[in-house]
Chains A and B, each alone.
Chain A
Amino acid sequence: MSRERLALGFGLLGIALLGWGSYLGLFVAPPDRYMGDVQRIMYVHVPTAWLALVVFTLAFIYAVLFLVHRSWRWDALHEASLEIGVLFTGLLCIQGALWGKPTWGVYWAWDPRLTTVAVMLLSFTGILSLRHFLDDPLRRASWSAATTILASANVPVVYYSVRWWNSLHQLQSTPKTVNSSMVEPLRINAFGLLFLTIALIMARSWIAESRRRKAMAPPLAKESS
């Protein structure tokens, strides 16, 4: 099977699972006894948060692999995971604000969880713009890998922030604290987003590779037609 077909397969599987999980979450699972229907945003918010952390962890791994092995492949995957991580974190903040207003009473608060997420969003957005400013591909790859490693120190802090400090954001839920009919759509959506993420990272890294190839050796007049 070609890698394109594999990515397409992952993508379609992801979208199908997200459709199924969201259907269960919106129409089959009960509303929360206190929050009502607004709690259903959990079925996308929690998977988005998990995957944002996973994707930034991948960005860290790819950054290290690039610095160790000096292969363009790792730089392309690094770029892909940075961009998808920033996309997910942006979506995460929007979902969180929409959930926060009717429950907390505010869209945003500078509590430890939200503050560390803001730092994560800004630092990785900064690395993406750093990549745009650097024209030399080797310098772009090395400098952004180094800054990703630096910014990754904050990623576990995001996860543990609600345990380490007093915050407005609640602790991580466990299957024990969630009604069993709510766990299923949450899991299905998490796997759906995982497969979609794999497809997105694959596709985005190919774009990065082909852009680099074109930049290093632009097609000649005859080839470009």
Chain B
Amino acid sequence: MGVALVSMGGLGENLIFYWTPTEMKAAGEKAYGATVRLGGQVVEGSIERDEKSTKLSFRVGDGETQFPVDAQGMPPAMFREKIGVVIEGTLLRSGRFASNRLMVKHDNEYRAPGEEDVDTKALMKTTEGLAAP
């Protein structure tokens, strides 16, 4: 039970798993320096890969605010334009977000290959955390 109570205590800190770009902007000074998580959608047409190195840069947005992100290494195979991502890293004074870890979200839709989207906004649904019962 002791372990459970300690975990319950830790839950408080984990309630904010990530900031959306708008929330990160609103956090102002608090956002700089510390290791934080940024969650949003990969902006269409923003992915740039440096073929010579393992550098990857793209922009993460929530429809309102965008942040440029610099990542290293191979992203998960699911990584693509318009997908939800959660990035662990640091916001630099330059306004760029330096990623230490890139995680890819997948939404609650399961479709066969070639099947049409029923709701094209479905990808955003998960990043907004909105209930869609």
Contact = CB atoms under 8 A, between A and B. Distances in A.
Contacts of A165: 15-17, 129
Interface in A106-125: 106, 109-112, 115-116, 118-119, 122-123
Q: Give the bracket for the number of chain A residues in contact with chain B.
A: 35 or more
Contacts of A104: 76, 78, 103-106
A110 B17 contact: yes
Contacts, number: 132
A32 B132 CA distance: 21
Interface stretch (A50-58, A77-85, A166-174): A166-174
B131 interface: yes
Nearest to B7: A119
Contacts of A139: none
A33 interface: yes
B109 A173 contact: yes
Interface residues of B, number: 45
Interface string A152-191: 0010000000111111101111101111011000000000
A166 B16 contact: yes
Nearest to A39: B110
B10 to A, nearest CB: 7
A168 B15 contact: no
A176 B122 CA distance: 11
Q: Among B4, B109, B112, B129, which residue has the most Cβ atoms of chain A within 10 A?
A: B4
B11 interface: yes
- Which 10 A-B pairs have CB atoms at the shortest separation, nearest pair first? A105-B76, A30-B112, A123-B4, A173-B108, A163-B131, A33-B113, A170-B108, A177-B109, A111-B17, A171-B108
Given A30-B112, A172-B108, 4 more contacts: A33-B112, A103-B76, A166-B20, A166-B127
Interface of A: 30-35, 39, 42, 102-106, 109-112, 115-116, 118-119, 122-123, 126-127, 130, 147, 151, 154, 162-168, 170-174, 176-179, 181-182
